[in-house]
């Protein structure tokens, strides 16, 4: 009788004990979608104590149903062709901006050229490579500083190359009268810029190009200004105005006049930043899609966060939507909902703009993976809005892949997709159960990755574990934007902490 009860730990079976306790109980498994009811166990006197001793620890370990697996409909995860958000919410009344994926149907450029998953992931690697070069160059510079007290050893603290460009857009207004500009936002760089007329070299953008001559509040920053000197790369024009120059890691670039004008964060007249400093780009090329430019949300002094600090406090938060057909938000200013858990924001010498945190553990299905803490501390970790796929130290990724694929053994494998090597073919399934994945940070803050952040679903027949390994054990780990989906991610720059709160976009 009792041998009927096979508790399949791997699939998160749970035991229900309706009252009166000894006579009937039920075991439900996600895998079989089958509820086995066993009534009237005649030999209860013998079996039940044994059963309970076996089952209760399991029940306790796995907790409530669903706590260690996500069960979802595969069709809900497929890329949609229709934006699920109503246009009305586009104009919010605070410094809360609507965030859309640049390649999805909610993007203002949704009729633009389609980008394949492979292309998107290859571009992502270019951004990650740039992070690795910059972080290791900074580490080398710090090492040289430590070795030598001689002031003659000068390695540029800023190696100059920002990252490739990000994937999420917000719409803000520049100038008086305001001109709407849909721009990429990027926590990995500082300078905000838009394309400006007259263009020397401009790529094709969706909205009309901003013409500073038509704005009554625009002025160029003189090259003698201290603000000009704060730019990583600047020069002086013939007219003694400040020229900026940003080269991104994916070979995208922008150059032009560093100017000041009114920045409108929303349609409300109170949400304006007068004399906001930004690049008025007259020579721009690269992977900016049809956006008007980019908003820099790094920690450096020229970033939007720093410039908005006096009005809003040096803090911002965003929620990236679960898919490209829904919308999220970007809020400038401090907003920390009750469910947000914080981890310290760390700084690495020579890299003042990046947001470092301390990743300490990874859990799959609620169980910590056997990864020594030094694996994480050797690499270091940063949080980035523009990197798509989270990159982990090789040892950590191997442990994640092993635990994940053990729990996905029932599904057929599918071919790799660019950098994603653990893929499944869900053809024929209505519902799919994936184990939870939690990223645990210093002081216990946990990012319990939404199921939209565990699998990168290219199609029903190719859904891949949305994590990848770094090449080297000392390459910095990066928490990418797929894993941040649906969380309120708070960057509290002034209090030096980063927070994660679940289920935030709606
Ligand atoms: C407008 O602002 C108020 C108060 O800040 C807020 O409660 C409300 O939800 C906002 N409305 C929208 C559409 O964002
Ligand atoms: C996925 O599985 C289905 C059914 O098992 C099969 O017909 C199809 O060829 C598979 N697709 C890929 C890409 O492996």
pLDDT at res. 51:
56
pLDDT of the residue at 473: 95
- Structure-model confidence comparison of residues 127 and 153, the more confident one: 127
In tens, the pLDDT along 190-207 reads 999 999 999 999 999 989
Mean pLDDT of 345-358: 92
Q: Best of 117, 425, 460, 464 to mutate for ligand 2, by most ligand atoms within 8 A of CB?
A: 425
Any idea which of 94-98, 166-170, 408-412 has the lowest mean pLDDT? Answer: 94-98
CA of 261 to the centre of ligand 1 (A): 26
Contact at 8 Å (CB) between 479 and 383? yes
Q: Please answer whether residues 435 and 354 qualify as being in contact, where contact means their C-beta atoms are separated by less than 8 angstroms.
A: no
On the question of pLDDT at 179 being above 90, the answer is yes
* Residue 286 pLDDT class (50, 70, 90 cuts): confident
- Provide, for the chain, the percentages of residues in helix, strand and coil under a 3-state DSSP scheme, each rounded to the nearest 5: 20, 35, 45
Stretch 159-184: mean pLDDT: 77
Which ligand is in closest contact with the Cα of 91?
1
Residue 2, pLDDT above cutoff 60: no
Q: Residue range 372-396: average pLDDT?
A: 94
Q: How far apart are CA 28 and CA 6, in angstroms?
A: 11
Tell me if the bond preceding 88 is cis, omega within 30° of 0: no
Between residues 65 and 438, which one has the greater pLDDT?
Answer: 438
Query: How far apart (Å, rounded) are the C-alpha atoms in residues 415 and 436?
Result: 23
96 CA → ligand 1 middle, Å? 9
pLDDT tier, 145 (very low <50, low <70, confident <90, very high otherwise): low
Q: Nearest C-alpha to atom 5 of ligand 1 is from which residue? A: 94
Q: What number is the average pLDDT over the span 400-422?
A: 96
> pLDDT, tens digit, for every residue of 99-128?
888 777 788 776 656 677 887 788 788 888
Decide which of 133 and 425 is more confident. 425
Protein residue closest via CA to atom 5 of ligand 2: 427
Site to substitute for ligand 1 among 90, 94, 330, most atoms within 8 A of C-beta: 94
Which atom in ligand 2 lies closest to the alpha carbon of residue 462? Answer: 13
Give the whole-number percent of the chain exceeding pLDDT 70.
79
Q: What is the average per-residue pLDDT within 411-431?
A: 95
Q: What mean pLDDT value characterizes the chain?
A: 81
Point out the ligand 2 atom lying closest to the alpha carbon of residue 414: 14
Higher pLDDT, 201 or 249: 201
Q: What is the mean pLDDT of residues 4-32?
A: 37
Q: How far is the CA of 92 from the centre of ligand 1 (A)?
A: 7
In this structure, which residue's CA is closest to atom 8 in ligand 1? Answer: 93
pLDDT score for 16: 42
Residue with tokens 């270019």: 126
Query: What pLDDT does 24 receive?
Result: 36
Q: What is the mean pLDDT of residues 67-86?
A: 79
Specify the range with the lowest mean pLDDT, choosing from 1-5, 118-122, 175-179, 393-397: 1-5
Q: What is the predicted pLDDT for the residue at 86?
A: 56
Of 4-18, 265-279, 394-408, 488-502, which range is least confident? Answer: 4-18
Residue 19 predicted with pLDDT over 90: no
Span from the CA of 455 to the centroid of ligand 2 (angstroms): 18
Ligand nearest to the CA of 414: 2
pLDDT band per the 50, 70, 90 thresholds, residue 76: confident
Q: Which of 74, 411, 412 to mutate to test the pocket of ligand 2 (most atoms within 8 A of CB)?
A: 412
pLDDT digits (tens, 9 = 90+) for 205-228: 989 999 999 999 999 999 999 999
Global pTM reads 0.80
Task: Report the nearest-CA residue for atom 6 of ligand 2.
Answer: 427
Q: Which residues does a 6 A CB cutoff place in the pocket of ligand 1?
A: 92-94, 96
Residue 489 has pLDDT above 80, yes or no: yes
Pocket of ligand 2 (CB under 6 A): 412, 414, 425, 427-428, 461
Cα 491 to Cα 357: distance, rounded to the nearest angstrom: 11
Which residues are registered as beta bridge partners of 193?
279, 294
DSSP result, 287-315: S-TT-SEEEE-SSSTTSHHHHTHHHH-SE
Give the chain's radius of gyration (CA, Å). 26
Average pLDDT of span 123-135: 84
For residue 158, what pLDDT band results from cuts at 50, 70 and 90?
very low
Q: Which ligand sits closest to the CA of 415?
A: 2
Say what the pLDDT of residue 67 is. Answer: 74
Number of H helices, E strands in the chain: 10, 34
Distance 489 CA to ligand 1 centre (A): 19
CA of 126 to the centre of ligand 1 (A): 39
Give the HSE-up count for residue 87: Cα atoms under 13 Å, Cβ half-sphere: 1
Q: In what order do the strands lie in the sheet with 412-414?
A: 412-414, 423-425, 462-465, 455-459
Q: Which residues participate in catalysis according to the annotation?
A: 186, 384
């Amino acid at each position: 009788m009792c041998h009927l009860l096979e508790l399949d730990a791997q699939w998160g079976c749970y035991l229900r004990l309706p009252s009166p306790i000894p006579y009937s109980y039920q075991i439900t498994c996600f895998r079989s979608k089958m509820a086995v009811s066993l009534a009237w166990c005649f030999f209860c006197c013998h079996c039940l104590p044994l059963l309970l001793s076996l089952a209760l620890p399991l029940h306790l370990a796995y907790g409530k149903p669903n706590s260690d697996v996500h069960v979802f409909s595969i069709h809900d995860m497929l890329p949609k062709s229709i934006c699920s958000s109503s246009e009305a919410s586009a104009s919010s009344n605070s410094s809360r901006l609507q965030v859309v994926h640049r390649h999805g149907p909610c993007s203002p450029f949704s009729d633009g050229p389609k980008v394949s998953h492979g292309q998107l992931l290859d571009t992502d690697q270019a951004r990650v490579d740039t992070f690795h070069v910059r972080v290791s160059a900074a580490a080398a510079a710090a090492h040289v500083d430590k070795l030598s007290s001689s002031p003659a050893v000068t390695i540029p603290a800023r190696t100059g190359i920002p990252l490739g460009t990000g994937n999420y857009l917000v719409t803000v207004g520049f100038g008086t009268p305001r001109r709407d500009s849909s721009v990429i936002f990027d926590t990995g760089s500082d300078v905000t810029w838009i394309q400006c007329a007259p263009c020397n070299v401009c790529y094709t953008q969706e909205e009309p190009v901003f013409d500073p001559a038509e704005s009554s509040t625009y002025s160029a920053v003189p090259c003698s200004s201290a603000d000009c000197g704060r730019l990583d790369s600047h020069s002086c024009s013939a007219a003694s105005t400040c020229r900026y120059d940003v080269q991104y890691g994916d070979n995208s670039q922008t150059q032009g006049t560093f100017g000041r004008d009114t920045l409108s964060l929303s349609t409300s007249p109170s949400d304006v930043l007068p004399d906001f400093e930004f690049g008025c780009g007259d020579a721009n090329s690269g992977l900016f899609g049809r956006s008007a430019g980019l908003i820099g949300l790094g920690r450096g002094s020229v970033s939007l966060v720093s410039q908005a600090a006096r009005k809003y406090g040096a803090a911002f938060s965003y929620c990236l939507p679960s898919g490209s057909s829904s919308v999220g938000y970007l809020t400038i200013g401090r907003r920390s909902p009750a469910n947000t858990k914080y981890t310290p924001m760390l700084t690495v010498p020579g890299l003042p703009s990046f947001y470092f945190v301390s990743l300490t553990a990874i859990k799959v299905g609620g169980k910590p993976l056997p990864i020594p803490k030094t694996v994480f501390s050797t690499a270091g970790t940063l949080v980035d809005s523009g990197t798509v796929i989270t990159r982990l130290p090789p040892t950590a990724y191997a442990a994640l892949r092993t635990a994940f694929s053990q729990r996905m053994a029932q599904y057929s494998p599918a071919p790799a997709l660019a950098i994603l090597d653990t893929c499944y073919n869900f053809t024929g399934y209505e519902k799919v159960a994936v184990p939870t994945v939690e990223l645990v940070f210093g002081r216990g803050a946990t990012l319990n990755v939404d199921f939209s952040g565990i699998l990168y679903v290219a199609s029903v027949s190719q859904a891949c574990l949305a994590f990848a390994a770094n090449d080297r054990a000392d390459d910095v780990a990066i928490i990418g934007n797929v894993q941040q989906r649906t969380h309120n991610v708070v960057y509290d720059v002034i209090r030096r902490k980063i927070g994660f709160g679940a289920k935030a976009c709606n």
